[in-house]
Structure formats: structure tokens, C-alpha cells
């Protein structure tokens, strides 16, 4: 077991549960000759994030959790180690005269100081109250100055999407051009839409400035539902952030995407390297049982949101004879991932019901049909060779070359039309 000293957002038990369900409270602890500071700007947190810096005569209070070594990768991922934060050992006092060396995280490259957001400060105050840290330290945390507007993101009022013609099978968020320019980069095509800790990946559609106010975004109903807004978005606000990482696709093919909640399969169905999807969801994205799908999720890190994608074969879950009334509905809105898949997507550590984007794995489907396309190319070459031998009589090399080029061109067009017809939204 490892003992970990939490002094920042992980003071909040609610926040710590998103990392691992196996963390157990061990003791209150004081780190002497250090001070709490905010030396890193976090895009995801919308302001400065906590750090401990040496300062004689000052104390930092926190809690020591006990957790298994297997939870360390999840903790590293949450803290953005080693780029955002790095591990270090510190000597903390848990009771008068009882000092112990424990693990903690400090900012890897200090800047600032920066002002934290109100939401981030609330996690620190919430944790201090929950664990009963000294009253004077709670008052110190409550006195920290904050700002309400997220930095690196912006809160926008939500309205229902009125025009989905630009979606091409993806879930969209629509912004005025000026709002998109202020919040995001000019080349950004996708954005993280965040509400109450849930983040969904959406395609960004820029509209005329006179079509939407600067403080409004239009959001698809499915996205609203999966991040906890519901059918009527009146008065609700979300925060938009840039995302890191690339989303790759197959040229000229725009398949349908599904946004589903991640869940853990039943023990008897928890096979390796597969995912379980409802049959109607497989049909919606044009994939048959046993074919490959692409799963994409947003990973929360201290420096923002990062896209992670994996490819897995998809199967339909086996249904029990007697289902609870809510079970068919849950199956339809869920994707069931084994532990390896959750870990690869950054959804391990007990983090369930997080949005996962599902789409056909077009490149994998293309590869699986290579024999079919190869036979088509061979037959095309044979037919074209017979034709070109008449046109270029007496020039065997030119005949073969022209036939090969034409066969490859025709086969490529045929393969593209085949995939496009099978998968296009």
C-alpha cells in the first residue's frame, strides 16, 4: 500500500473518487515549512492549480490516503504526471511528534502565481470541511481570491440545436464565429463541452455572428442528455475547452457517430479486447457484429482535455431471461468496456458513465476487405490488360503499366464507394 498526501483538489472525497475507489482515509497531516500556492495555469480547471512551495514558518494541511500501488497510474494520469505535476516524497506530521515520509505531487514547471477559479477553490474548501482540518486553515482557504470566468474556456448559455445540416453524422456545438475565435483556435474542429464534471467531444460548427449571441451555444439533444442537462436547456450553462490530440478519419467517408455512457460488462461477458453494444446501435453506425469500431474519449488532465482513441471488435451483449424494467434502456445508451479498454481510454479508477464516442473503425474495415478489393483489382487488371493490348499493340510494357494504373484507380474508387455506401451518415 502507498500513502499519498493530498493538499489540492484531491482533498475533496468526491474528486478522489474519480481517480480510484480504493483510496482509504489514513490521517490528517501537516507539511511544515511549506506554503500553498497556485503556480500552474490549468485550462481544464479554468485558472491556477495548487502547489506546495518551500516557505519557512508556514504550514500546508491535507489528508493522507492509503491506496494500492495499482492505483498509481490512475493518479499520475489525473495529475498529468510527469509533464504537469511530478511525484515527490515529503515528510509530514500526522500527530505531534509522529513524522512519516509519504508521496505527493508538485508542479513540474512553476510559473505564476495564478488566481484559481471559484469552482477549484470550492473543492479545496469542501475537502477541508469534510475532513475537519484546523479551523484557521479552513478560513485561510476560504479567503483565497478567485475569478468566476474560466481561463482557457468560457461558460456559455445552452440552447437547442436548430440546424444539423453541417453535422455529417457527428454531434455538434454551434457558435458564432467571433465567440469561437475568442475561445478556441482558428483551426479547431472539435471541442470539449463540459457540464458538472462530464465532458463530451463535439464537432465545432461556426455560424454567422448575427445568427447567435456571443454568450450562447447550440447543443445537440443527445449531448445535453449525456452530460446531465436534459431536454429543456433553459438557464443551463456549459464550458467549452480546446482539446489536444488528433481525430483521424477515412478520406471522403463521414460515418454516423454515437455518444454513449461507458459501463462495465457482466463478469461472464468480460472478455479481453472486445466491446459490447446494443444490436440497434451497431445497425445505426453500419457495423455488423464482430466488426471493428473506434472508441474515443476525453481524458481529464491538469493541462486540459486530451483525446484518446482505441479500436475494438464489437459484439452484442447476451440478455438474461428476466430483465429489470430499466435494463433495456440502459443497454441501449451504454457501451460495455473491459478493464483494459477503460484503462486505454483513461476511464479506469472506477470512472463510469463517462461519455464515449463510438464510430465505425473505417481503416480496420478497409483492411478486413482487402482480399475482396484485391480480387477486384486482379479481375480489373485482366480486363483492362486485354483492352490496352489492342490500343498499344506491340508495346507490352506500356500495356501492362496502363492496365495496372487504371486497375488501381478503378479499385480505389470502387473501395471508396463501397465504404461510403456502407457507412455514410
pLDDT recorded at residue 3: 94
Where in the sequence numbering do the catalytic residues fall? Answer: 79
Residue 70 — φ and ψ, nearest 5°? -65, -20
pLDDT recorded at residue 89: 94
Instruction: Say whether both 133 and 163 belong to one domain.
Output: no
- Would you call the peptide bond into 82 cis, given omega within 30 degrees of 0 as the criterion? yes
Instruction: Say whether both 399 and 419 belong to one domain.
Output: yes
CA 106 to chain centroid: 24
pLDDT recorded at residue 166: 60
Of 340, 364, 388, at which residue does a domain stop? Answer: 364
Torsion of CA 256, 258, 264, 266, to 10 degrees: -70
Degrees (nearest 5) of the Cα angle 276, 280, 282? 55
| Confidence (pTM) | 0.60
- What is the DSSP-derived secondary structure letter of residue 317? P
For 135-189, the pLDDT digits (tens) are 999 999 999 988 654 445 677 888 888 776 666 667 888 888 877 876 666 567 8
As a three-state string, the secondary structure of 51-71 is: EEEEEEEEEEEEEEEEECHHH
What are the DSSP calls for 161-191, one per residue?
-S--TT-TTS-EEEEEHHHHHHHS-TT--EE
Q: Does 200 map to a domain? A: yes
For 376-423, the pLDDT digits (tens) are 777 777 776 777 766 666 666 677 777 777 778 877 887 777 777 777
pLDDT recorded at residue 267: 53
Instruction: Say whether both 135 and 89 belong to one domain.
Output: yes
Of 327, 349, 364, at which residue does a domain stop? Answer: 364
pLDDT recorded at residue 206: 87
What are the DSSP calls for 378-392, one per residue?
HHHHHHHHHHHHHHT
User: pLDDT below 50 — which residues of the chain?
Assistant: 149-151, 268, 351
257 near 167, Cβ under 8 Å? no
Close Cβ partners of 54 (under 8 Å, ≥ 6 residues apart): 33, 34, 35
Of 21, 29, 34, 41, whose CA–CA distance to 3 is shortest?
29
- Give residue 380's domain range: 369-423
Amino acid at each position: 500500500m502507498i500513502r499519498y498526501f493530498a493538499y489540492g483538489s484531491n482533498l475533496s472525497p468526491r474528486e478522489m473518487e474519480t481517480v480510484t475507489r480504493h483510496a482509504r482515509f489514513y490521517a490528517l497531516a501537516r507539511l511544515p515549512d511549506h506554503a500553498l500556492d497556485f503556480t500552474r495555469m490549468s485550462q481544464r480547471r479554468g485558472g491556477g492549480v495548487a502547489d506546495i512551495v518551500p516557505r519557512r514558518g508556514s504550514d500546508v494541511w491535507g489528508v493522507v490516503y492509503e491506496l494500492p500501488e495499482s492505483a498509481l497510474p490512475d493518479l499520475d494520469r489525473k495529475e498529468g504526471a510527469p509533464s504537469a505535476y511530478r511525484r515527490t516524497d515529503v515528510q509530514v506530521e500526522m500527530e505531534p511528534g509522529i513524522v512519516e515520509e509519504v508521496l505527493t505531487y508538485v508542479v513540474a514547471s512553476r510559473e505564476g502565481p495564478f488566481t484559481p477559479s471559484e469552482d477549484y477553490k470550492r473543492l479545496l474548501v469542501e475537502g477541508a470541511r469534510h475532513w475537519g482540518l484546523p479551523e484557521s486553515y479552513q478560513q485561510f482557504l476560504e479567503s483565497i481570491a478567485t475569478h468566476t470566468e474560466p481561463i482557457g474556456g468560457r461558460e456559455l448559455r445552452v440552447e437547442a440545436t436548430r440546424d444539423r445540416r453541417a453535422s455529417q453524422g457527428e454531434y455538434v456545438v454551434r457558435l458564432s464565429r467571433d465567440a469561437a475565435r475568442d475561445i478556441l483556435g482558428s483551426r479547431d474542429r472539435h471541442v470539449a463541452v463540459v457540464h458538472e464534471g462530464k465532458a463530451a467531444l463535439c464537432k465545432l460548427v461556426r455560424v454567422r455572428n448575427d445568427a447567435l449571441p456571443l454568450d450562447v451555444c447550440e447543443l445537440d439533444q443527445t449531448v445535453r442528455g449525456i452530460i446531465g442537462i436534459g431536454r429543456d436547456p433553459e438557464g443551463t450553462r456549459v464550458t467549452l475547452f480546446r482539446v489536444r490530440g488528433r481525430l483521424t478519419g477515412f478520406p471522403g467517408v463521414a460515418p454516423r457517430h454515437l455518444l454513449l455512457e461507458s459501463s462495465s460488462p457482466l463478469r461472464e461477458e468480460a472478455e479481453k479486447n472486445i466491446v459490447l453494444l446494443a444490436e440497434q446501435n451497431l445497425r445505426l453506425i453500419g457495423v455488423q457484429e464482430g466488426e471493428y469500431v473506434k472508441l474515443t474519449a476525453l481524458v481529464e488532465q491538469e493541462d486540459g482535455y486530451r483525446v484518446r482513441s482505441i479500436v475494438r471488435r464489437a459484439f452484442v451483449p447476451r440478455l438474461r431471461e428476466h430483465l429489470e424494467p430499466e435494463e433495456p434502456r440502459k443497454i441501449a445508451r451504454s457501451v460495455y468496456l473491459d478493464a483494459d479498454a477503460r484503462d486505454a481510454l483513461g476511464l479506469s479508477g472506477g470512472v463510469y458513465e463517462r461519455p464515449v464516442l463510438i464510430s465505425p473503425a473505417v481503416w480496420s474495415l478497409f483492411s478486413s476487405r482487402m482480399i475482396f478489393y484485391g480480387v477486384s483489382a486482379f479481375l480489373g487488371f485482366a480486363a483492362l490488360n486485354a483492352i490496352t493490348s489492342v490500343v498499344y499493340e506491340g508495346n507490352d510494357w506500356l500495356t501492362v503499366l496502363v492496365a495496372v494504373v487504371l486497375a488501381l484507380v478503378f479499385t480505389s474508387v470502387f473501395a471508396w464507394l463501397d465504404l461510403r455506401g456502407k457507412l455514410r451518415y
